[in-house]
Structure 1
């Protein structure tokens, strides 16, 4: 069932985690432009608006002026120089954040063709937890999962059992 309706495991598990904590009656601001995951959320009954592609390190006005119940940030914070400032500017009472975890066997991701598609941060779970706590959020739940890829080699084998993604549900203190 999920294999045909979800592009990858990450989307399936993210949606399951979201459904566990966020009701479809709650309005969501999803950080980042409209994407396959925000479209999946809408298809599952959520009311979702997205930021417009602005540099959130420089322009947080849409976040600061938003009157939503929930902010989601799926694989966004690793691209920002200052996720601290973004987290502090959120007015919503709930947040769901996911990040790729730092892998000891792979260097930080950096696209060679798109200068915006780079990871400034690759978090360990405790670093994201600390960042959330320091910016006024109380973590209520979290989960991690692997991201196996169908290739041959040492890294693909390691990806079968090394947790790659970390997701957190938190509420404003």
Structure 2
């Protein structure tokens, strides 16, 4: 049904993982401004509120003021200098978060035109797990997937076999 309308494999995998763990009757706070995936969540029946573009390294008011039962964070934490701070302040008991994994054969992403569109962190899975654990989260499920590109060369070939994205479902430790 929706697979043909999705712009990429990442959205398809992300939605399947979200639907596996989160019911549409659980309100979601999605970290980051409205984006194509927050629109997909709305179309699939989720109640979603996004943050407003505030710098989540310094301003935690969105997570402190939210009554959402779930926080989602899709490719956000790699842009923060100190993701531990916002992760520690989330009041919701459920978290679904994804990150791009560090690729040993490719440098960290840095936009040449947008000073905010860069990755300060590109985690290995164990590093992200450790970050979540330190912030008071317990991982219940996780998944990785590749992101092949339609180019020729050694790096594009490696992308067929090397996972690029990592997603977790975690619950707050009490």
Please, what TM-score do these two structures have when normalized by structure 1? 0.98
SS, match of residue 141 in structure 1: strand
SS, match of residue 81 in structure 1: coil
Q: CA RMSD in A?
A: 0.8
Q: What is residue 46 of structure 1 aligned with on the other side?
A: 46
Q: Is the counterpart of residue 28 in structure 1 residue 42 in structure 2? A: no
Unaligned runs of 5+ in 2: none
Measure how far apart 1:170 and its partner are.
0.3
Measure how far apart 1:153 and its partner are.
1.2
Distance 2:3 2:14 in 1: 14
Q: Is the counterpart of residue 55 in structure 1 residue 55 in structure 2? A: yes
| 1:23-45 alpha-carbon deviations (Å, 9 max, x no partner) | 00000000000000000011001
| 1:76-123 alpha-carbon deviations (Å, 9 max, x no partner) | 000000100010010000000100000000000000110000000000
Q: What is residue 83 of structure 1 aligned with on the other side?
A: 83
Q: Which runs of 4+ in 1 moved over 4 A?
A: none
Distance 1:3 1:73 in 2: 21
Q: What is residue 107 of structure 1 aligned with on the other side?
A: 107
Unaligned runs of 5+ in 1: none
SS, match of residue 29 in structure 1: strand
What are the within-5 Å matches in structure 2 for residues 133-152 of structure 1? 133-152=133-152
SS, match of residue 121 in structure 1: coil
Distance 2:4 2:36 in 1: 14
Q: What is residue 74 of structure 2 aligned with on the other side?
A: 74
Distance 2:14 2:89 in 1: 24
Please, what TM-score do these two structures have when normalized by structure 2? 0.98
